[in-house]
């Protein structure tokens, strides 16, 4: 893709900010009037045409206005957003709220969901901290009848999982014990991701057993994860958001309500479905928890991987004592998201809860 010039980057940033603020196509005339630009509307129109050819903005109607595309939002977040932070007064208020509920982790999580939803003006989610990811300790394979084998999997935390396997052909108990010993020596203290990597180099039967054990580890992670959410009203009810923005003029409210519903309807439906049907959400959160990437992670339009999130953005971060007791928190909603505010809120709340958990649990060397 052709890289935009500095002026085109500046115009793209203005279009994103204006469209996030008010979901109506942004025209060159509006930019000149709002920002007092020292170049003409004709110059801006030429730059808009270039940005459209690059796939960073698009014209949804026959009007001259443009709106950002998913690629445009992504470019904005990666290169133009800068290092924004919450105002000191907001940070003090949030910190005070958390310290009022000191030593009550459940209150922290509920408060975190509420604070994120209010600050970013979208939906939020927070998962309860857990020892994660679940790790392999050892397994046993017991021949029961014919091709049926009982697998007993013991996790590092002490949990025990059982699963019946139907093999392609009978295998002696001696051979099953050899396979179990081999897997135990290779996979001890590993998580599901590492186990799957090891499975790729094993004989077919060993590979099948390791894959099944990895799947049981992932199920253990998901079953221990409690999800708190807040702020759905921010994306499902435009009138609620307009009240918070203190827009009282009836005609303007009607116009903005219609614009909000048109701009955000697909993203709002996807967000609601994501929070109701946990399978996809669990997969995404599990990836965030197991990733080596530190700090805030921004996902826009499903990143080309999840069609179910094609109109949704997520801003996520881990919190807690890494490798010991961790969870995920963040905000989600339609791609027309206030990314700077969302990123700074998620970063600050994650850091705040992490510090408070370290005070309670130490650096991870104390028993739960």
Find how far residue 335's CA is from the centre of its chain: 13
Give how far Cα 170 sits from Cα of 45, 113, 202, 208, 367, Å. Answer: 73, 52, 19, 15, 43
Q: What is the pLDDT of residues 332-342, one digit of tens each?
A: 999 999 999 99
Q: 88-131+225-361, what's its fold?
A: Beta-Lactamase (3.30.450)
Q: Give the architecture (CATH level 2) of 6-80.
A: Orthogonal Bundle (1.10)
**What are the domain boundaries of the chain?**
6-80, 88-131+225-361, 136-223
Structure tokens at 95: 């910190």
What pLDDT shows up at residue 367? 40
**Which of 3.30.519, 2.60.40, 1.10.287, 3.30.390 would CATH assign to domain 136-223?**
3.30.390
Q: What is the pLDDT of residues 282-339, one digit of tens each?
A: 778 877 766 666 789 999 998 888 888 889 999 999 898 766 678 899 999 999 999 9
pTM of this prediction? Answer: 0.73
Which residues of the chain are under the pLDDT cut of 50? Answer: 365-368
């Amino acid at each position: 893709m052709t890289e935009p010039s500095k002026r085109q980057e500046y115009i793209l940033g203005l279009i994103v900010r204006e469209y996030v603020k008010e979901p109506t196509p942004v025209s060159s005339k509006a930019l000149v009037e709002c920002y007092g630009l020292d170049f003409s509307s004709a110059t801006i129109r030429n730059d808009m045409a270039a940005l459209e050819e690059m796939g960073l903005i698009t014209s949804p109607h026959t009007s001259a206005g443009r709106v950002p595309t998913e690629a445009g939002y992504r470019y904005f977040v990666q290169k133009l957003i800068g290092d924004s932070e919450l105002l000191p007064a907001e940070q003090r208020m949030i910190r005070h709220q958390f310290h009022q509920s000191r030593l009550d982790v459940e209150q922290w999580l509920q408060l975190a969901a509420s604070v994120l939803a209010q600050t970013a003006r979208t939906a939020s989610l927070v998962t309860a901290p857990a020892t994660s990811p679940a790790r392999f300790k050892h397994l046993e394979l017991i021949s029961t009848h014919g091709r049926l084998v009982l697998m007993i999997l013991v996790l590092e935390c002490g949990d025990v999982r059982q699963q019946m396997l139907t093999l392609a052909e009978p295998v002696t108990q001696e051979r099953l014990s050899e396979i179990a010993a081999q897997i135990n020596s290779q996979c001890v203290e590993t998580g599901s991701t590492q186990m799957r990597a090891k499975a790729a180099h094993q004989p077919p039967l060993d590979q099948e057993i390791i894959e099944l054990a990895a799947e049981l580890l992932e199920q253990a992670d998901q079953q221990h994860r409690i999800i708190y959410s807040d702020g759905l009203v921010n994306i499902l009810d435009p009138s609620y958001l307009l009240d918070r923005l203190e827009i009282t003029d009836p005609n303007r409210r009607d116009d903005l309500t219609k614009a909000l519903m048109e701009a955000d309807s697909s993203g709002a439906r996807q967000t609601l479905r994501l929070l109701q049907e946990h399978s996809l959400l669990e997969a995404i959160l599990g990836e965030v928890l197991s990733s080596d990437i530190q700090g805030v992670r921004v996902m826009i339009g499903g990143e080309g991987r999840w069609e179910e999130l094609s109109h949704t953005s997520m801003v996520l971060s881990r919190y807690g004592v890494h490798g010991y007791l961790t969870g995920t928190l963040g905000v989600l909603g339609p791609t027309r998201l206030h990314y700077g505010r969302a990123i700074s809120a998620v970063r600050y709340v994650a850091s705040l809860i992490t510090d408070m958990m370290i005070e309670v649990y130490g650096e991870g060397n104390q028993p739960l």
